Amino acid sequence: MVTIRDVAERAGVSRSTVSLVLNKSPLVKEETRELVLAVIKEMNYVPNNNARGLSNKTMNSLGVIIMNESQPSNSYNFDNHSGLCAYNISNGIMSGLADTDYGIITEAFCSVAEPDRLPKVIGNRRVDGAFIVGSPYAPELVANMKKTGIPFVLVGVNSYEQDADSVLADPGEGSALAIRYLVETGHKRICFLNCPTRFRSYYVRKHGVEQLVKELGVEYNPEWFLSCEHNQGASAYKTMTAFLDTGARPDAIVAANAPLALGAMRRLHELGIRVPEDVSIIPYEDSVLCGYAVPALTAINIQKEKLGQLAAKLLLERMKDPDRPYQKIVVPPYMTFRDSVLVR
Amino acid sequence: MVTIRDVAERAGVSRSTVSLVLNKSPLVKEETRELVLAVIKEMNYVPNNNARGLSNKTMNSLGVIIMNESQPSNSYNFDNHSGLCAYNISNGIMSGLADTDYGIITEAFCSVAEPDRLPKVIGNRRVDGAFIVGSPYAPELVANMKKTGIPFVLVGVNSYEQDADSVLADPGEGSALAIRYLVETGHKRICFLNCPTRFRSYYVRKHGVEQLVKELGVEYNPEWFLSCEHNQGASAYKTMTAFLDTGARPDAIVAANAPLALGAMRRLHELGIRVPEDVSIIPYEDSVLCGYAVPALTAINIQKEKLGQLAAKLLLERMKDPDRPYQKIVVPPYMTFRDSVLVR
DNA sequence: CTGAAAGCGCTTACAG
DNA sequence: CTGAAAGCGCTTACAG
């Protein structure tokens, strides 16, 4: 293995000089710099990350902590969470970090199961900073993270804490977008299929819907505002089954995410209720499930990759300046028009 | 920050002793060991990964290299690759590594765009070993990887190289499983919707199908063996459109993956051809897209998480013993029965 | 079973 | 602008 010492010898300079050019110090004469660089290339020298980190007190890695209620499984059934949201955000983080040298260490973490533990990468001090991706995250985790002194940012559908940097979508605004469009296109009987009540985004959506409905002067039946037990198709199927059994016949459904929308659609399909001819449907949180659905689903895109990218930028800034005030970045949603809404 | 020195002082032993207990050496008296452990816990000591690695010449990290043709995007449209396969495998790898201390560094890598480059984590020597996840991987990459001396294993739908460890599914066997079942359930006119011909799995499937069809004595029309330009819905839609325009009316479709199946279904839906009443459909490579589809798709599950887990185990063994012979582990597929096949 | 010492490969004041 | 030297926090022969 070739070390800085070998490079220095071959280049006929001291090790410090090589180190200086490695770290782009302006103290090195241009001529020397070029010579050293040439030798580095010629010898195929790669600085040892451990040695560098030991001096620098830096790990040169960032953690991506994926929060979830359960481990991902090999069963892709309807009664499982799709896991797509965290995946998309995490892709965004990686793309936002692509031109840095950070290693990105991913870890699944279940804060519900172990509320007082820290993710391994944090406990082991393997990272210089971290992203807490998605909900549910226990508030204790944020407190515990702060104690470690490792900078972090929260990123997700509705990831927000007072004393932390956060990048989030706006579920209220997203729901409003969907409802406004449905009203514009002539829908009169809109049903809302929300996530479990244990998620904070449940309330944000509910609030957004109630607000808008008042503003629009649309009639609103609280009994048509449903929630599902889990964020998965089977729960939505169950909820929708019970709802339709009451004889209710919405002409549009707004769902809190794609798994819920597809769960509802399964029941509609069984009953011979057609999408979009009989009922339009718009999920929040566009994903590959929407683009590939038959028919393709018009959906609210919350820019998950962008959430990730902005989180990446934010964490980098936070690490540079630990004392700056906390930021809260809200990324606006937009609608992707596909085939699940009938213009009446 | 508390170091090994602090622990040693407080415990009244030498630094080496602390190090020995850290590394579970049998040379330490039980009594001393317990004392040291207690002090470690009390002081909340965490060994510095860089220092340890610098001595050990080890990074304590493993790379997960996700091969792809393009970067993931924020558009979840039909004309994008779903990215799900690598994601699922990577989950399996993580679960297989969950009880180790390795940091798992993920990197997206496009070998088509940069055939002569190495993934960053490899070039920077940030990892002790790596997983090459998915195809397309350029054969040059394998050669280049070998030159680095960093152990690695290939893992994917059809990831196999002579001179490397590999864990793979068996696309031929998977296709056979689907066809056999369709024949058993009374289907007579089976169409095969394969992946692009530039993937090796295309040929494996083709071979498997031809073999089986002969064995079963089923009639086989080579013109009903289709391929798509890309592994995405829009390509399958196009291929299926052209195929159906010829007047062909299959009673079953076997697709090389879920995006292709859903692309075909989109066209069927437009034409009012019902699944499964008019045509049954079985994709290879079960994924969340199948479980959530309406109707839910009966699919070939290739155990992607298990592929990942076995790859994890294999890499660990390879690192322990660099001289062992290369292994090729083929994971058998099974069928997940859902609602897209009509028993005729 | 334990301690003193050298070494892993870098960085960074400090002199010059 | 460059070199000699100390130090980062561990591990590992080597003595005892």
Chain B neighbors of A284, CB-CB under 8 A: none
Q: Report how far residue B218's alpha carbon sits from residue B189's, in angstroms, rounded to the nearest whole number.
A: 10
Cα angle vertex B96, ends B64, B104, to 5°? 35
Average pLDDT rounded to a whole number, residues B200-212? 92
Our CA-based measurement puts residue A161 at a distance from the nearest CA of chain B, in whole angstroms, of: 26
Compute the mean pLDDT over every residue in chain B, rounded to the nearest whole number: 93
Interchain CB contact of B101 with A (< 8 Å) = yes
* pLDDT at res. B110: 84
Name all domains of chain B by residue range, CATH numbers in brackets: 4-45 (1.10.260.40), 61-169+304-332 (3.40.50.2300), 171-301 (3.40.50.2300)
Instruction: Identify which of B46, B51, B59 has the shortest CB distance to residue A123.
Output: B46
Interchain CB contact of B54 with A (< 8 Å) = yes
Categorize the per-residue pLDDT at B136 as very low, low, confident or very high, splitting at 50, 70 and 90. Answer: low
Categorize the per-residue pLDDT at B115 as very low, low, confident or very high, splitting at 50, 70 and 90. Answer: low
* pLDDT at res. B219: 80
* pLDDT at res. A115: 67
Percent of chain B with pLDDT over 90: 78
* pLDDT at res. B74: 77
Q: Give the count of alpha carbons within 13 A of A88, CB side only.
A: 23
Interchain CB contact of B108 with A (< 8 Å) = yes
Residue range B141-162, pLDDT digits in tens: 888 999 999 999 999 998 898 8
Q: Report how far residue B82's alpha carbon sits from residue A75's, in angstroms, rounded to the nearest whole number.
A: 17
* pLDDT at res. A344: 82
Chain A neighbors of B107, CB-CB under 8 A: 94, 104
Residue range A195-225, pLDDT digits in tens: 999 888 999 999 999 999 888 888 888 999 9
* pLDDT at res. A217: 84
* pLDDT at res. A135: 77
Answer whether any strand C atom is within 7 A of the Cβ of B27: yes
Residue B25 has pLDDT above 80, yes or no: yes
Categorize the per-residue pLDDT at B137 as very low, low, confident or very high, splitting at 50, 70 and 90. Answer: low
Categorize the per-residue pLDDT at B331 as very low, low, confident or very high, splitting at 50, 70 and 90. Answer: very high
Q: Which residues are B169's β-sheet partners?
A: none
Average pLDDT rounded to a whole number, residues B109-134? 88
Residue B254 has pLDDT above 80, yes or no: yes
Tell me the C-alpha to C-alpha distance, in Å, between residue A229 and each of A75, A156, A202, B20, B335.
Answer: 19, 20, 12, 50, 29
> B122: which 2 tokens?
């490899």
Q: Which CA-bearing residue is nearest the C1' of C13?
A: A16
Q: Report how far residue A327's alpha carbon sits from residue A145's, in angstroms, rounded to the nearest whole number.
A: 17
Residue range B170-189, pLDDT digits in tens: 988 999 999 999 999 999 99
* pLDDT at res. A242: 97
Nearest to A292, CA basis, from A101, A111, A82, A114: A82
Interchain CB contact of B294 with A (< 8 Å) = yes
DSSP structure string for B73-102: -S---TTS---HHHHHHHHHHHHHTTTS--
* pLDDT at res. A136: 62
The verdict on a CB contact (< 8 Å) between A126 and B106 is no
Query: Can you give the pLDDT of all 344 residues of chain A as single tens digits?
Result: 899 999 998 999 988 899 999 988 888 888 889 999 999 999 999 999 999 999 999 999 999 999 987 777 778 999 998 889 999 999 999 999 999 999 999 999 987 777 678 999 999 999 999 999 987 667 788 889 999 999 999 999 988 988 999 999 998 899 999 999 999 999 999 999 999 998 889 999 999 999 998 888 888 889 999 999 999 999 999 999 999 999 999 999 999 999 999 999 999 999 999 999 999 999 999 999 999 999 999 999 999 999 999 999 999 999 999 999 999 999 999 999 999 999 98
Answer with the residue of higher pLDDT: B121 or A220. B121
> What part of B 62-81 touches A (C-beta under 8 Å)?
71-78, 80
* pLDDT at res. A73: 75
Instruction: Identify which of A74, A292, A294 has the shortest CB distance to residue B259.
Output: A292
Q: Report how far residue A246's alpha carbon sits from residue A242's, in angstroms, rounded to the nearest whole number.
A: 7
Which residue is closest to B73 within chain A, CA to CA? A305
* pLDDT at res. B277: 97
* pLDDT at res. B51: 95
Q: Three-state DSSP class for B16?
A: helix
Rounded, the Å distance between the CA of A35 and C1' of C13 is: 25
Categorize the per-residue pLDDT at B117 as very low, low, confident or very high, splitting at 50, 70 and 90. Answer: confident
Residue B22 has pLDDT above 70, yes or no: yes
Percent of chain B with pLDDT over 70: 99
Categorize the per-residue pLDDT at B220 as very low, low, confident or very high, splitting at 50, 70 and 90. Answer: confident
- The conformational region for residue B7 under phi > 0 = left, psi -120 to 50 = alpha, else beta, is alpha
* pLDDT at res. A54: 94
